[in-house]
């Protein structure tokens, strides 16, 4: 299967700061998704983004499929942004392979 | 709009006991999935069902069985629970057939401890 590496593993931010999370993958993909797991364990789909750029409020994501990476941008971070961010890529029509995640802590 | 509903939310079992985790979705999705999440790791696919009447193995299927009861429901069964199966289990669904061009939607998880 495809290898998915996320960096950094941990990130501590002061409220209001901006940050960038990175996802590298080892092979061509036809599906890439970003998820946020909140401190209560719920997994929320943030973006479906196999290529290009998308924005949703203070969050945006860019995937450069030809170079096998994706970036998730958090601007003006808030304490509610805390949690674990996962990148997941598809290696066939039905299977997503997840990275180990980036744990984000936003301090007030 | 409930989305993906999992029951139970918490469960403690003794080694060797059996149990079934239930999952139902109300989004008319074709594909459903079961994952497990262990501390410090991403999710790993146990089984999936591309459409009603079909099931297939994922990365870590040993020790589990599944049933796609109908389009809405997809259950996961542990026949003889082992401590290594202590984990958080997530059910997910996606529209269309598979995940091409489709985001996945997750339930809130079942926290399972096996003593």
The span from the first CA to the last CA of chain A, in angstroms, equals: 40
Nearest chain B Cα distance for residue A99, angstroms: 6
The rounded distance, in Å, linking the Cα atoms of A70 and A20 is 10
The rounded distance, in Å, linking the Cα atoms of A6 and B55 is 30
Is the CB of residue B98 less than 8 Å away from at least one CB of chain A?
yes
Using DSSP bridges, classify how beta strands A69-74 and A83-90 pair: parallel, antiparallel or unpaired: unpaired
DSSP B84: G
Residue-level pLDDT at B88: 96
The rounded mean pLDDT for chain A is 93
The partner residue sitting opposite B58, judged by closest CB among A31, A95, A101, is A95
Q: Which of B48, B99, B111, B112 is best to mutate for the A interface (most A CBs within 10 A)?
A: B99
Give the tens place of pLDDT for each residue, B70-97: 999 999 999 999 999 999 999 999 886 6
What value does the CA radius of gyration of chain B take, rounded to a whole number of Å?
Answer: 13
Residue-level pLDDT at B100: 61
Nearest chain A Cα distance for residue B112, angstroms: 14
pLDDT in tens, chain A (108 residues): 789 999 999 999 999 999 999 999 998 888 899 999 999 999 999 999 989 999 999 999 999 999 999 999 999 999 999 999 999 998 777 778 899 999 999 999
- For B55, half-sphere exposure in the C-beta direction (CA atoms, 13 angstrom radius) is 19
Is the CB of residue A102 less than 8 Å away from at least one CB of chain B?
no
- Chain A stretch 25-84, residues whose beta carbon is closer than 8 A to a beta carbon of chain B: 30-31, 33, 35, 41-45, 48
Residue-level pLDDT at A54: 96
Using DSSP bridges, classify how beta strands A19-25 and A10-14 pair: parallel, antiparallel or unpaired: unpaired
**Beta-carbon neighbour count of residue B2 at 10 Å?**
9
Residue-level pLDDT at B12: 96
Does residue B67 register a pLDDT over 70? Answer: yes
Give the tens place of pLDDT for each residue, B21-48: 999 999 999 899 999 999 877 899 999 9
Sign, Cα dihedral of B66, B69, B71, B76: negative
The partner residue sitting opposite B40, judged by closest CB among A1, A41, A100, is A100
Is the CB of residue A95 less than 8 Å away from at least one CB of chain B?
yes
The rounded distance, in Å, linking the Cα atoms of B15 and B72 is 30
The rounded distance, in Å, linking the Cα atoms of A37 and A85 is 6
Give the tens place of pLDDT for each residue, A20-34: 999 999 988 888 999
Q: Which residues pair with A99 in a beta bridge?
A: none
For residue B112, give Cα distances in angstroms to A101, B14, B38: 21, 11, 11
């Amino acid at each position: 299967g495809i290898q998915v590496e996320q960096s950094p593993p941990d990130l501590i931010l002061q409220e209001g700061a901006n940050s960038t999370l990175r996802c590298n993958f080892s092979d061509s993909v036809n599906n890439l998704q970003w998820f946020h797991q909140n401190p209560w364990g719920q997994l929320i789909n943030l973006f479906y983004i196999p290529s290009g750029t998308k924005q949703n409020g203070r969050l945006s994501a860019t995937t450069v499929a030809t170079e096998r990476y994706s970036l998730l941008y958090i601007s003006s971070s808030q304490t509610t942004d805390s949690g674990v961010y996962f990148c997941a890529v598809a290696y066939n029509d039905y299977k997503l392979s997840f990275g180990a995640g980036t744990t984000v802590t936003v301090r007030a | 709009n409930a989305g993906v509903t999992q029951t139970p939310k918490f469960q403690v079992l003794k080694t060797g006991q059996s149990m079934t985790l239930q999952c139902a979705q109300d989004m008319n999705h074709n594909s459903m999935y079961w994952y497990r999440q262990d501390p410090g790791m991403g999710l790993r696919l146990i089984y999936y069902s591309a459409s009603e009447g079909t099931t297939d193995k994922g990365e870590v299927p040993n020790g589990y069985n599944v049933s796609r009861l109908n389009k809405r429901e997809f259950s996961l069964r542990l026949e003889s629970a082992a401590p290594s199966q202590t984990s958080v289990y997530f059910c997910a669904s996606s529209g269309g057939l598979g995940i091409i061009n489709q985001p996945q939607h997750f339930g809130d998880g079942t926290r399972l401890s096996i003593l």
